Structure formats: structure tokens, C-alpha cells
Amino acid sequence: MTSITSNEELKGFIRDIPDFPQPGIIFKDITPLLQDSGATRHVIDTFTDAFRDAELRAIVSVESRAVRRCSRRSGNLGLPLIPVRKPGKLPAEVMSVEYSLEYGTGQLDIHKDALAKGDRVVVIDDLLATGGTALAAAKLVELIGGRVHSFAFLVELGFLNGREKLDGYGVLALIRYD
């Protein structure tokens, strides 16, 4: 276990994978960070501290890898965890939104009964790139009656200007690449 004292130290756990998922893309692989319990603990503690007093009703997590990590964060805050997934991954009735990615299009689903009207949430995801996925998650939350308090990301690709799409929401990113 590594002892991490700052977000900047987390960058050492991010691995660049060139030409993935397609030529010209440099994928920021967080797997080495997830494999280090000290780095993972720092992430969980930082997010927990950031949202402890935000009067949230739930944590909304985008896709499966983020869901696994967020389950610990939601437990630390005593909040339910609401998954937002790709089509066909949620078993009950869903609300869906299509959105643009940096290299294509996608769709996200949320259970229609996941939140009560007015529930205030933080949306957590691994990566902020162009902002399309985050904005789609926010639209889903709002379509079923929730309110997005803020977003939290492990990595932000600042050069893609995704934060601009999230204007009006709070945004926390632990690692930023410009």
C-alpha cells in the first residue's frame, strides 16, 4: 500500500495506452490506481470529505467500474448508490438518453424509480473528457425528478473543455491533464 498525501501524486498511477479504443486516442488507464489500496483510499477519502456536508440524498455513478468504487464512497456517506448504465444492463423500467462521445455516440439508462422528486445527488465518473457522458447523466437525473448538486471525477482531460458543458454545476476533478 502506497501512502498518498496529494491528488498530484495520483498521476503516477495513471497509465497511457496509445491508440485505444481507436487510433489517435491516448487512453488514460486508471487500473494501476485501482490496484493500489493507498491510492484508492486517498480517492475515496477525498470524495467523502468533499461531499460530507452537501446534504445529498444519493450518489449517482456512471457505468460499472465507477459503480464498484462508488459503493465504498456511498457507504462512507451513508447514501444510496444509483447506477447509470449502458443499454440493457438495468433490469427494471428505465429512462434513456442518447449523447455524443469524443469518438462516437452512446446511450445511458437509469431506473425510472431510482430517485424521489427533488433528491439532490452528486454524479461520479472516472473521466471527464468532452462532458457528453456527464451531461447525459445529469439529464437522466433531472428527467426522473432529481437535482444534480455537482460532479466528481477521478481524471479530467482539460484540453477537451468538457467542464464548459457542465456550467452551472459544481465540478471536482482530482487529476487534470491540460
Residue 80 lies in a domain: yes
Whether 104 shows a pLDDT value over 80: the answer reads: no
Residue 164 lies in a domain: yes
Residue 62 lies in a domain: yes
Q: Is the pTM of this model over 0.85?
A: yes
Which of 41, 65, 147, 176 is the catalytic position? 65
pLDDT in tens, 53-82: 999 999 999 885 554 555 566 667 888 989
Which of 72, 102, 120, 176 is the catalytic position? 102
pLDDT band at 4; cut points 50, 70, 90 = confident
Q: What is the pLDDT of residue 152?
A: 94
Residue 5 lies in a domain: no
Q: Which residue has the higher pLDDT, 63 or 24?
A: 24
- Torsion angle, CA of 27/33/39/41, rounded to 10 degrees? 100
Residue 36 lies in a domain: no
Active-site annotation holds for 102 = yes
- Total number of domains constituting the chain: 1
CATH number at residue 132: 3.40.50.2020
Residue 136 lies in a domain: yes
Residue 23 lies in a domain: no
Whether 5 shows a pLDDT value over 60: the answer reads: yes
Q: Which residue has the cell 449517482?
A: 60
Q: Which residue has the higher pLDDT, 5 or 176?
A: 176
Q: What is the pLDDT of residue 65?
A: 59
* Cα distance between residue 168 and residue 163, in whole Å: 10
Q: Is 118 exposed, middle or buried (0-12, 13-18, 19+ CB in 10 A)?
A: exposed
Give the H or E element holding residue 154: strand 147-157
Residue 22 lies in a domain: no
List the domain range (segments joined by +) for residue 86.
55-177
Active-site annotation holds for 73 = no
